[in-house]
């Protein structure tokens, strides 16, 4: 793939051209020249877009599709197209399919289906067989097949000894264990944050305590096992405190937060809109403030869209019975850019690769082109017409977002919306 990108402002602190507006020549998928003005004698395709900005390719550490088994929610092909049009050149894909991705063959299937796409798919294998929390899955075999981490998506590991064994076993091959932060017996049948709002709405509450107990437990086990742990999608102020203290003790722990947990409070549920039924639950403004502070001081290592397509039959029903989840890839950039500076937004969208063993490529001559293209300044109302996901369960529907994404250049391919 050959292209000449014209008048692009580079946002990449690792590049010599950071904050400069330049032309970028890409030949056979590699950046061959960067300069103020580049001629085009070979008549390569020219990319000229309004207020074009370019950064290193974005990464999302928690994405769900549906294939195999739930293709009505999302296919791998359309999911990767959606990721590309949303600016993501790499996504780590969860194991919550049917069957669950818990073997070497399953990992191989995902990688085979994702071949020849612009966006890289990195499989996350299940931590336990069928994600049932009883017996460890074939972690080493999945690692050899290409799994970048092990996680029973949204299923907490109730047995502390099993978590200890998982961490100890994974440490033998530098595997990354992920543990969903929820204590099942405390959370019970709660469907939203336990608070005055849940009481007024008559909905069962899921207290912050359920998350915080699990985080504290896992950190104690991590200290004992001397392994490495990733805690996905924390949502409470106390969780931030616990992880901050663990990092001061030099424990090998990272964590993420879902973008919607940085923006919406539990008061949004007053309309019983099931797109706001997510896990972990939307919390309070105090929690949001603590999460944002955790991002700023480095306690929280990465953000995620926590993209989880759910078909309409499982969302357009009574709130108690609706499935948890929201799509988030398409709205990720515009939502983050609404609350952070563009520099911080891009930093958050490109963090996390190293933790998952994924290579980064700065915008420099001689490096492969792994680029996200966007305009940080154009506002728009996010509507169903802008959703390329098969499922339309977006928590950000009808919300104003700041900035638009043009697409990506990656894997010697170019996917652009314009």
Domain holding 27: CATH number? 2.30.40.10
Could you tell me if 260 and 327 lie in one domain?
yes
Which of 308, 330, 356 terminates a domain? The answer is 356
DSSP state of 57: P
H-state helical runs in 202-341: 208-225, 237-248, 285-296, 329-339
pLDDT for res 41: 86
From the candidates 102, 301, 306, 370, give the one annotated as an active-site residue.
Answer: 306
Q: What range does the domain containing 223 cover?
A: 58-356
Is the predicted pLDDT of residue 416 greater than 90, yes or no? yes
Residues 278 and 384 both lie in one domain: no
Predicted pLDDT of residue 376: 97
Percent of the chain beyond pLDDT 70? 100
Q: How many independent structural domains does the chain possess?
A: 2
Q: Do 2 and 41 meet the contact criterion of CB atoms below 8 Å apart?
A: no
CATH number at 129 reads: 3.20.20.140
pLDDT at 234 over 80: yes
Helix spans in 22-138 (H) = 76-85, 104-113
pLDDT on residue 9? 98
Q: Examine the residue annotation and report whether 306 is marked as an active-site residue of this protein.
A: yes
pLDDT higher than threshold 80 for residue 366: yes
DSSP 227: -
Average pLDDT, integer, range 224-252:
98
Question: Do 181 and 231 belong together in one domain?
Answer: yes
Average pLDDT estimate for 332-349: 98
Cα–Cα dist 349/332, whole Å:
9
> Which residues, including other chains, have CB under 8 Å from residue 149's CB and lie 6 or more apart?
92, 124, 125, 175, 176, 177, 178, 230, 356
Q: Is residue 78 predicted with pLDDT exceeding 90?
A: yes
- Rounded to an integer, the average pLDDT of 390-395 is 98
Residues 368 and 265 in one domain: no
Say whether both 300 and 387 belong to one domain.
no
DSSP H or E stretch at residue 347: helix 342-350
Domain boundary among 333, 356, 379: 356
Residues 24 and 90 placed together within one structural domain of the fold? no
Is 69 found in the same domain as 182? yes
The Cα–Cα gap between 120 and 248 comes to 34
State whether 292 and 274 are in the same domain: yes
A 10 A CB-CB count for 174 gives: 10
pLDDT score, position 250:
98
The 10s digit of each residue's pLDDT in 158-198 is 999 999 999 999 999 999 999 999 999 999 999 999 999 99
Please tell me the distance from the alpha carbon of residue 256 to that of residue 260, in angstroms, as a whole number.
12
This prediction has a pTM of 0.97
Give the integer Cα–Cα distance in Å for 152 and 220: 20
What is the rounded average pLDDT of the residues 101-114?
97
Closest CA to 75 of 83, 84, 85, 66: 66
User: Is the pLDDT assigned to residue 15 strictly greater than 80?
Assistant: yes
Q: Mind listing the pLDDT tens digit for each residue in 43-73?
A: 999 999 999 999 999 999 999 999 999 999 9
**Closest by Cα among 7, 87, 15 to 305:** 87
**Degrees (nearest 5) of the Cα angle 353, 409, 380?**
90
Q: Answer yes or no: do 120 and 94 share one domain.
A: yes
Nearest to 8 by CA among 376, 402, 401, 417: 376
- Spatial neighbors of 305 by CB under 8 A, at least 6 apart, are 60, 62, 63, 258, 259, 327, 328, 329, 331, 332
Mean pLDDT of 239-252: 98
For residue range 277-318, list pLDDT tens digits in order. Answer: 999 999 999 999 999 999 999 999 999 999 999 999 999 999
Comparing CA positions, the residue from 304, 270, 363 lying closest to residue 56 is: 363
pLDDT score recorded for residue 162: 98
Query: Are 44 and 114 found together in one domain?
Result: no
Confidence (pLDDT) at 136: 98
- Pick the last residue of a domain from 308, 335, 356: 356
Mean pLDDT of the region 254-265: 98
235 with 252, same domain? yes
Beta bridge partners of 21: 9
Q: For residues 138 and 262, state if they share a domain.
A: yes
| CA-CA-CA-CA torsion sign (268, 299, 15, 368) | negative
- Whether the per-residue pLDDT at 418 is higher than 80: the answer is no
pLDDT at 26 > cutoff 90: yes
**120-158, pLDDT tens digit by residue?**
999 999 999 999 999 999 999 999 999 999 999 999 999
Please tell me the predicted confidence (pLDDT) of residue 133: 97
């Amino acid at each position: 793939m050959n292209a000449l990108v014209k008048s692009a402002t580079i946002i990449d602190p690792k590049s010599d051209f950071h904050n400069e507006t330049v032309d970028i020549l890409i030949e056979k998928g590699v950046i061959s020249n960067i300069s103020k003005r580049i001629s085009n004698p070979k008549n390569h395709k020219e990319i000229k877009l309004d207020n074009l900005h370019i950064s290193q390719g974005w990464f999302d550490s928690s994405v769900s599709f549906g294939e195999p088994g739930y293709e009505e929610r999302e296919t791998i092909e359309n999911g990767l197209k959606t990721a590309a049009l949303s600016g993501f050149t790499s996504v780590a894909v969860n194991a919550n399919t049917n069957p669950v991705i818990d073997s070497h063959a399953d990992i191989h299937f995902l990688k085979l289906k994702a071949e020849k796409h612009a966006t890289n798919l990195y499989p996350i294998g299940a931590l336990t067989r069928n994600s049932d929390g009883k017996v460890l899955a074939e972690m080493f075999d999945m690692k050899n097949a290409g799994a970048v981490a092990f996680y029973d998506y949204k299923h907490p590991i109730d047995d502390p000894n099993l978590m200890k064994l998982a961490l100890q076993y994974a440490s033998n091959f530098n595997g990354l264990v992920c543990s969903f932060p929820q204590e099942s017996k405390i959370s019970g049948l709660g469907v939203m944050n336990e608070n005055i709002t849940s009481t007024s709405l008559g909905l069962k509450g899921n207290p912050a305590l359920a998350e915080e107990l699990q985080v504290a437990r896992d950190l104690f086990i991590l200290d004992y096992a001397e392994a490495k742990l990733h805690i996905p999608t924390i949502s409470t102020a106390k969780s931030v405190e616990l992880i901050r203290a663990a990092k001061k003790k030099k424990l090998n722990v990272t964590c993420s937060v879902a973008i919607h947990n940085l923006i919406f409070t539990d008061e949004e549920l007053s309309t019983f809109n099931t797109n706001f039924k997510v896990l972990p639950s939307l919390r309070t403004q105090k929690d949001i403030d603590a999460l944002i502070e955790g991002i700023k001081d480095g306690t929280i290592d990465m953000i995620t869209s926590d993209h989880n397509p759910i078909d309409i039959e499982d969302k357009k029903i009574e709130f108690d019975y609706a499935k948890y989840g929201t799509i988030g890839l398409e709205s990720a950039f515009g939502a983050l850019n609404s609350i952070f500076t563009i520099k911080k937004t891009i930093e958050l969208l490109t963090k996390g690769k190293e933790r998952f063993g994924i290579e980064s490529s700065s915008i420099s001559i001689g490096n492969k082109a792994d680029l996200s293209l966007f305009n940080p300044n154009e506002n728009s109302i996010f509507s169903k017409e802008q959703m390329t996901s098969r499922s339309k369960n977006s928590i950000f529907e009808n919300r104003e977002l700041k900035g638009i994404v043009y697409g990506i250049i990656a894997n010697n391919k170019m996917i652009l919306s314009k």
